[in-house]
Chain A
Amino acid sequence: MIRARKVGKRFGEKRALRGVDLDVAGGAFAVVTGPNGSGKTTLLRLCAGLALPTEGELEVDAPRASVGYLAHEPLVYRELSALENLDLYGRLYHVPERRERIGMLLERFGLWEVRHDRVVSYSRGMTQRLALCRVLLHGPELLVLDEPYTALDAAGAELLDAQLAELRGAQTVLVSTHDPDRVAPLATQHLALA
């Protein structure tokens, strides 16, 4: 699914990433770890297709429509409600049976009761749950998750555990985390950036 050879990324004179080799087969569950500033986010942005490498080769065998990317920011409009945000993304991704799918996800992540509230009134954890709904909405083949456990409370983290366990094997997952033990039971491979 992902094949990287000596991939590097520079922003002007700042080098964010260098010499990364990575092979992620379809259905694999790859975990990326590394200290702050080691380029985890940069690598994930490259794999999600938001940036191009400045050196090396990178192939990702997934069309844009089948990639789900969870960023540091939730990538939702703060002035819109959870429902309106997901409805927009559902339309852009041409999700079949959009309303049912959105309802199901909101229910699962415990946001159904607040679905009409504007995102600006959400706590960080609730916003992160909404971001997860957005990522899963179109049933992506390749999930690129940047620190998915950030800001989640214990209940939220368990929801995510269950969700990831469900995806494992069927979908390809690339996840960066500071807490590799949490996803260790699921991981099929591990990349440590220095």
Chain B
Amino acid sequence: METVSRHYRIPLPALAAATLALVMVALAFVFFVAPNDAVLGFSQRIFYFHVSIAFTAYACFGAGAWKALRHLWKRDPRADLESYVAVHQGVIFGVLVLITGSIWAKYTWGHWWVWSEDELVLFLVLFLFYAAYFMLRFSVDPGPQRANFSAVYALFGVVLVPVSFLAIRLAKTFLHPVIFTRHGANIGGWMLVTYCLTQPAVLLLAYTLYRVELAGKSIDARLRELRLA
């Protein structure tokens, strides 16, 4: 526990300030600089958030699995909590993917939910999977067993992502003929610049939230430690 504060170099307030600044700039670009989409108009701007958030959620799940591996492999005492917090952030951003995706679907195709959108379906599967992760974690007493179970299940998650993606692709051939095709990837100029700003902004936001939650949970654990001693 003593090593927690020593391990991280960027102080939290500075990180938070940088995140706030970058998010502001990204928002300004999304709403004032990026041009309206030729076909979809103003509503297309949610794409910047949707894609950035989806990528961030993957990054969180990946980080959670990496920390899980550190726990199992190196017995890093901090890794269990870090893995949990990363997965937690991943689920928060995953829910945001479902919400933004749903809004996008409504404005683009007129339905709140479309099964033909691979990524949306994948995030639904992942949401169910990681919701079960929390059920598992809260159904075991704190200790090495809970840490091991969580870690192993988090590792299943990173294997499930590509397998599910492949499965959803395969399922399409017998479930739905492709009716909607995603609006072409012909973004360029200011659109690309805007995306290149929102993506790091959302990633940094996730990292800041991760650090805040981790700091809170570490202090909590420390306090309990002191009370016990």
Direct contact of A and B (CB under 8 A): yes
A74 to B142, CA, bound (A): 26
User: Does the CB pair A13–B144 fall under 8 Å?
Assistant: no
- Per the CB 8 Å criterion, the residue count for chain A at the interface is 7
Q: How large is the interface on B (under 10, 10 to 19, 20 to 34, 35 or more residues)?
A: under 10
Q: Judging by beta carbons under 8 Å apart, are A12 and B141 in contact?
A: yes
Contact A12 B142 (CB under 8 A): yes
Distance in angstroms from A16 CB to nearest chain B CB is: 10
Contact residues in B for A51 (Cβ distance below 8 Å): 144
In the complex, whether A116 has a CB less than 8 A from a CB of chain B is: no
Report the number of A-B residue pairs with Cβ-Cβ less than 8 Å: 14
8 Å CB interface, A50-75 against B: 51-52
Residue B179, interface by CB 8 Å? no
Residue-wise interface mask of A (107-123) relative to B, using a CB-CB cutoff of 8 A (1 in contact, 0 not):
00000000000000000
- Most central of B141, B143, B224 by chain A CB within 10 Å: B143
Nearest-CB residue, chain A, relative to B224? A13
Q: Report yes or no: A12 in contact with B144, Cβ–Cβ below 8 A.
A: no
Residue-wise interface mask of B (82-94) relative to A, using a CB-CB cutoff of 8 A (1 in contact, 0 not): 0000000000000
Can you name 7 A-B pairs with beta carbons within 8 Å? A11-B142, A11-B143, A12-B142, A12-B143, A13-B224, A15-B228, A51-B144
A-B pairs with the 3 shortest C-beta distances?
A12-B142, A11-B143, A12-B143
- B positions within 8 Å CB-CB of A: 141-144, 224, 228
- Other A-B contacts than A10-B143, A11-B141, 12 sampled, CB-CB below 8 A, are A10-B228, A11-B142, A11-B143, A12-B141, A12-B142, A12-B143, A13-B142, A13-B224, A13-B228, A15-B228, A51-B144, A52-B144
